[in-house]
Chains A and B, each alone.
Chain A
Amino acid sequence: MNRKIGVYICECGPNIAEKIDIDKVIEAVTSLNDIVTVERYKLLCSEAGKNYLTEQIKKHSLTHLVVAACSPRDHQLTFMEVCENAKINPYLFQLANIREQCAWVTDNKEEATKKAIRLTKAAIARVRCHSPLEKKEIESNPDILIIGGGIAGIEASLQLAHSNRKIYLVEKNSFLGGLIKNFEKKYPEMQPCSASILQKIETIKKISNIKIFTDSEVQEILGFFGNFEVKVKNKKEKDIESFNVGAVVFATGSSLFDINKNPQYGYGKFDNVLTSLEFEQMNLSKKIVLKNNKTPKSVAIIYCVGRTDKGYCSEICCMYSIKFVRYLKDNIPDIKIVNFYSDLCIPGKSHQKFYEQTQGENIDFIRAENIDITKKGEQLNISYDDETNRKKNCIVDMVILSPALEPSVDAAKLAEFTGVPLGDGDFFAEEHEKLNPVSTSTQGVFIAGCAQGPKSISDTIIQAEAVTGKILSSLIPGKKIEPEVKVSQISESFCIGCKTCLDICSYGAITFDEMNKISVVNEVICRGCGNCVAACPSGAITLKHFTFNQIYEELKEAVQ
């Protein structure tokens, strides 16, 4: 192929022009093979700059373009677009970063210029090895699978149902509503909770484009963003239904830490030691009583149960425990309540006020460690170390334990067959804690609510809405999907069939062809991370646009 490479050096205002001797860079690369023209320009990313580049490409009939300017994070796509408009394949372009990597890292103009020359030469060497890559488009399915019928799943279903697409809501229990169905009120405003969720459930049942599966579990999710094939099994009737969706939401929620792992609290051994969930249910039934049906005169609430075992703070236990104080005071005004905490977590604009307003007569907050519960007659004796490390005792009628939240048991199963990774605390890992908190590393699979980590009802709703936004803006009916172009390729003749790449791929993009004993990449699912390329022991995998040759030629110039 007869290459005609044009090299354009951006002054980036004073950013590059003042720190690098651009003329020297021009001089150093002008005589290289295949170089047709080398020019400098004030600001290539400006409208004028883009027009200038387009004209230059046409004028010199360039086949390849090299721009020495800023970080690819800033303007890689800008210049690729220029290429596309000027009718050269956007992958026959290379950007040399001489601003962040040269101009901005030193005051030494000579050194900066030397490095700029190397990087520009490296970009030229690399672009010579580039091959044109073609974009592909595939049809997308706008429907959505939501796994988990708690508040996250219900909220997401309701939001998405307005957009005129089919929603499949799968719940493992025989009822919707999840944990919060048991909560009489929610903090801090103490508004009805259970009643409002029941109302939402009624609404959701009436919406015709939401199909609800109860007593069901998802058995298989195959495919990719815009086109997942799903199998749902009804656990009672044992029948399996298959359908296609374009996106999946994991809203599998959480469950309580198993208190039997902390026998010092006497749970299961002594009467009147309850978990927070059991207390919510007791409160909802309007019968806060002891085992002997008498009204308790004193209650201890123990916070942070299992926090050390889990290694994280569950965020909401302090607040709901304070809510319990309200429940108790509302029902039994003269009751004595002792709160044993290790650290209080009450962030947010209204939570501090809620806490302060909850304090009062017969309500103690004690910072305690080494809590141990024993039976004393009909009552329960709590021994603990106070803040000054002194051993103390407290006798109460009832104990409520506020245990840590952990992922629901279904999370691990789901993670295993979908390849969506689990992160801290074995909750589903978000793609990026701050930048992409509801996406996962699998495109088209989102997480909402406690499936991602312990969170309050309001945060759960925020996430459900965020997921809705993400889905509505990316999965548009009729709009085709453009899969990644820079994908892995496995050479049929070099693959030894060792399956190393199958374990490495976190996108589930590689399958095994049992007939030919080789691995095969599904180009639509592959995200081009390159992990399989590095892991392949027999050098059978290459990543398009990051081929061995391209990297080698680039490196050779960069380290010359």
Chain B
Amino acid sequence: MNKSAETSEKKGAVLPIKTSIQDSIKDLLKNGIDHCVFDAVMIPLRVPAGDSFSYVLIKNKSLLNDAFPLPPTMSVQGAKAVSSVTRLGNRNMKIAAVMRPCEIRATIELTKLDQTDLENIILISMDCPGTMPILDMVNEPEKTMTLFNDATKSWDDTQMRPVCQICDKSSMVAGDLHIGTLGTDKKSFFIIPNSTKGKDILEKLKLPLTDSIDSWNKKVKENSEKKLKKRQEVHSDLKNKIGDLTNLLDIFSQCINCHNCMRVCPICSCRLCYFDSNKVKHSSEEYLQRAKDKGSIRILPDTTLFHMGRMMHMSLSCVSCGSCEDACPMSIPVAQIFSMVADETQRLFDYVAGRCLEEPLPLRTYKEDELHEVEDVHG
């Protein structure tokens, strides 16, 4: 896997779209099962109530007919699904995991912390038009489905979650295979390998890498530049809005301490969050002392501290997937704030979360010669 946002692969395979792109992807997966290149597929399925999606592990290929390779919403971050299936090792079953690029990037971050076993996993991503707010699907399932289908065709992101509207990595290839729908004539799609594993599969499926992917690359670059510009604008506005401590406290003052953002975060892999532990359960004397020191104290305390602590803990691995914001019952723009902080912390270490498996986690690497700007501030 390579270090740049664009894949180093110059060739791919072009396949025709028969009925719809979703169906074509499913055909490809069935073909994979038939050729024994994988034993099972982990892919989203619409729940029986119809208002949400869930990852399922499919062994029986006929069930693939009901799958949604690219569902309108993301109820479970795919990285969490891969981790729960493989964390204790996965020797016997080759699984193709079909996920959005941000889910794959989170998977790669988790792998660096040994929270997955990717040996027998084939990560398949596709160009992502964005994700709709999870509640839209719950409130108006059919309308959301239609809106999403239209948006996928027109590549219009105005209905998508705010953090998707500023995602410049929606076609980032970090897994083994990528399905490219950008830069095509809408009657076909690209399949692009990004690892030896990916190439082997295409070879076994007799899909020769003979087609140029220049048009895809060009379109991806265009899209990503456009999104990056918007991302910077939004981050800059946000920084003005929450730049000082008072504003930061204001924005998190709505927080109801449910910790949903932490629970759905794929990167938050601690068994017990510090902020749920006994370490933050204080005696009444302590509360009184704090009240005495500050004049008064909010109960429950440490609301902003929770977000800042989480930020410190995971911002270097944050992939801006937006799960936290989806899960926030108070509509705090958590994902946008975190994406802003993550961009800055990751830039500090010339690191992009989930870009490639070989890039070590900055906090696990010691370099004598770095961060002098921080030293300067503290003399």
**Chain A interfacial positions (CB closer than 8 Å to B):** 493-500, 503, 517, 535, 537-540, 548-549, 552
Q: Is B214 among interface residues, defined by CB-CB distance under 8 A?
A: no
The interface residues of chain A lying within 8 Å CB-to-CB of B271 are 493-496, 538, 540
Are A537 and B279 within 8 A (Cβ)? no
Q: Is B363 among interface residues, defined by CB-CB distance under 8 A?
A: yes
Bound-complex Cα distance A203 to B379 (A): 60
A539: nearest residue on chain B (CB-CB)?
B274
The interface residues of chain A lying within 8 Å CB-to-CB of B270 are 494, 496, 537-539
Bound-complex Cα distance A32 to B364 (A): 43
Q: Which among B87, B89, B272, B363 is the interface contact of A537 at CB below 8 angstroms?
A: B363
18 A-B contacts, Cβ less than 8 Å apart? Answer: A493-B272, A494-B271, A495-B271, A496-B269, A496-B270, A496-B271, A497-B87, A497-B114, A498-B113, A498-B114, A498-B115, A517-B88, A517-B114, A537-B113, A537-B270, A538-B269, A538-B271, A539-B272
Q: How many residues of B contact A (CB 8 A)?
A: 16
Q: Min CB distance, A35 to chain B, in Å?
A: 16
Are B277 and A539 within 8 A (Cβ)? yes
Bound-complex Cα distance A549 to B277 (A): 12
Further 6 A-B residue pairs, CB within 8 A, beyond A498-B269, A552-B279? A494-B272, A495-B271, A517-B89, A537-B363, A538-B271, A539-B270
Q: Which among B87, B274, B363, B364 is the interface contact of A517 at CB below 8 angstroms?
A: B87
| Contact status of A537 and B114, CB under 8 A, knowing A494-B272, A517-B87, A548-B279 | no
The interface residues of chain A lying within 8 Å CB-to-CB of B274 are 539
Q: Min CB distance, A282 to chain B, in Å?
A: 43
Bound-complex Cα distance A305 to B114 (A): 46
Q: Is B218 among interface residues, defined by CB-CB distance under 8 A?
A: no
Q: Min CB distance, B275 to chain A, in Å?
A: 11
The interface residues of chain B lying within 8 Å CB-to-CB of A535 are 364
Q: Min CB distance, B315 to chain A, in Å?
A: 13
**Chain B interfacial positions (CB closer than 8 Å to A):** 87-89, 113-115, 269-272, 274, 277, 279, 313, 363-364
Q: Which among A495, A497, A537, A548 is the interface contact of B313 at CB below 8 angstroms?
A: A537
Q: Min CB distance, A65 to chain B, in Å?
A: 24
The interface residues of chain A lying within 8 Å CB-to-CB of B114 are 496-499, 517
Majority secondary structure of chain A interface residues (helix, strand, loop or mixed): loop
Bound-complex Cα distance A70 to B88 (A): 51
B112: nearest residue on chain A (CB-CB)?
A498
Majority secondary structure of chain B interface residues (helix, strand, loop or mixed): loop
B286: nearest residue on chain A (CB-CB)?
A556
Total cross-chain contacts (CB, 8 A): 43
B88: nearest residue on chain A (CB-CB)?
A517
| Contact status of A496 and B115, CB under 8 A, knowing A517-B87, A537-B270, A537-B313 | yes
Q: Min CB distance, B227 to chain A, in Å?
A: 30
The interface residues of chain A lying within 8 Å CB-to-CB of B363 are 537
Bound-complex Cα distance A231 to B87 (A): 33
Q: Min CB distance, A283 to chain B, in Å?
A: 43
Q: Min CB distance, A504 to chain B, in Å?
A: 9
Q: Min CB distance, B272 to chain A, in Å?
A: 6
Are B272 and A500 within 8 A (Cβ)? no
Bound-complex Cα distance A549 to B115 (A): 28
The interface residues of chain B lying within 8 Å CB-to-CB of A552 are 279
The interface residues of chain B lying within 8 Å CB-to-CB of A517 are 87-89, 114
A493: nearest residue on chain B (CB-CB)?
B271
The interface residues of chain B lying within 8 Å CB-to-CB of A549 are 279
Bound-complex Cα distance A538 to B273 (A): 8
A497: nearest residue on chain B (CB-CB)?
B114
Bound-complex Cα distance A503 to B274 (A): 23
Q: Min CB distance, B43 to chain A, in Å?
A: 26
Bound-complex Cα distance A498 to B269 (A): 10
Q: Min CB distance, B24 to chain A, in Å?
A: 38
Bound-complex Cα distance A549 to B281 (A): 11
The interface residues of chain A lying within 8 Å CB-to-CB of B272 are 493-494, 539
A552: nearest residue on chain B (CB-CB)?
B279
The interface residues of chain B lying within 8 Å CB-to-CB of A500 are 113, 364
The interface residues of chain A lying within 8 Å CB-to-CB of B113 are 496, 498, 500, 537
Q: Min CB distance, A551 to chain B, in Å?
A: 11
The interface residues of chain B lying within 8 Å CB-to-CB of A540 are 271
The interface residues of chain A lying within 8 Å CB-to-CB of B313 are 537
Bound-complex Cα distance A275 to B363 (A): 45
Bound-complex Cα distance A154 to B279 (A): 56
Q: Min CB distance, A467 to chain B, in Å?
A: 30
Bound-complex Cα distance A494 to B270 (A): 7
Bound-complex Cα distance A499 to B89 (A): 15
Q: Min CB distance, B322 to chain A, in Å?
A: 23
Are A503 and B364 within 8 A (Cβ)? yes
Interface centre among B87, B271, B272, by most A CB within 10 Å? B271
Interface centre among A494, A538, A548, by most B CB within 10 Å? A538
The interface residues of chain A lying within 8 Å CB-to-CB of B269 are 496, 498, 538
B314: nearest residue on chain A (CB-CB)?
A537
Bound-complex Cα distance A358 to B87 (A): 71
Q: Min CB distance, B314 to chain A, in Å?
A: 9
Interface centre among B115, B279, B364, by most A CB within 10 Å? B364
Bound-complex Cα distance A548 to B271 (A): 17
A515: nearest residue on chain B (CB-CB)?
B88
Bound-complex Cα distance A548 to B272 (A): 15
Bound-complex Cα distance A273 to B114 (A): 54
Q: Min CB distance, B85 to chain A, in Å?
A: 14
Bound-complex Cα distance A537 to B89 (A): 21
Q: Min CB distance, B45 to chain A, in Å?
A: 28
Q: Min CB distance, B218 to chain A, in Å?
A: 39
The interface residues of chain B lying within 8 Å CB-to-CB of A498 are 113-115, 269
Bound-complex Cα distance A546 to B41 (A): 48
The interface residues of chain B lying within 8 Å CB-to-CB of A503 are 364
The interface residues of chain B lying within 8 Å CB-to-CB of A494 are 270-272
The interface residues of chain B lying within 8 Å CB-to-CB of A495 are 271
Interface centre among A499, A539, A540, by most B CB within 10 Å? A539
Bound-complex Cα distance A499 to B274 (A): 19
The interface residues of chain B lying within 8 Å CB-to-CB of A496 are 113-115, 269-271
A498: nearest residue on chain B (CB-CB)?
B113
Bound-complex Cα distance A66 to B102 (A): 55
The interface residues of chain B lying within 8 Å CB-to-CB of A497 are 87, 114-115
The interface residues of chain A lying within 8 Å CB-to-CB of B279 are 548-549, 552
Q: Min CB distance, B111 to chain A, in Å?
A: 10
Bound-complex Cα distance A498 to B277 (A): 20
Bound-complex Cα distance A493 to B272 (A): 9
Bound-complex Cα distance A503 to B363 (A): 12
Bound-complex Cα distance A35 to B348 (A): 50
B117: nearest residue on chain A (CB-CB)?
A517
A516: nearest residue on chain B (CB-CB)?
B88
Q: Which 10 A-B pairs have the closest CB atoms?
A: A498-B113, A538-B270, A494-B271, A498-B114, A496-B269, A499-B114, A497-B114, A539-B274, A494-B272, A548-B279
Q: Min CB distance, B276 to chain A, in Å?
A: 11
Bound-complex Cα distance A517 to B89 (A): 9
Bound-complex Cα distance A500 to B269 (A): 14
Bound-complex Cα distance A126 to B277 (A): 20
Bound-complex Cα distance A539 to B89 (A): 23
Q: Min CB distance, B115 to chain A, in Å?
A: 6
B87: nearest residue on chain A (CB-CB)?
A517
Bound-complex Cα distance A517 to B114 (A): 9
Bound-complex Cα distance A497 to B113 (A): 8
A549: nearest residue on chain B (CB-CB)?
B279
A495: nearest residue on chain B (CB-CB)?
B271
A494: nearest residue on chain B (CB-CB)?
B271
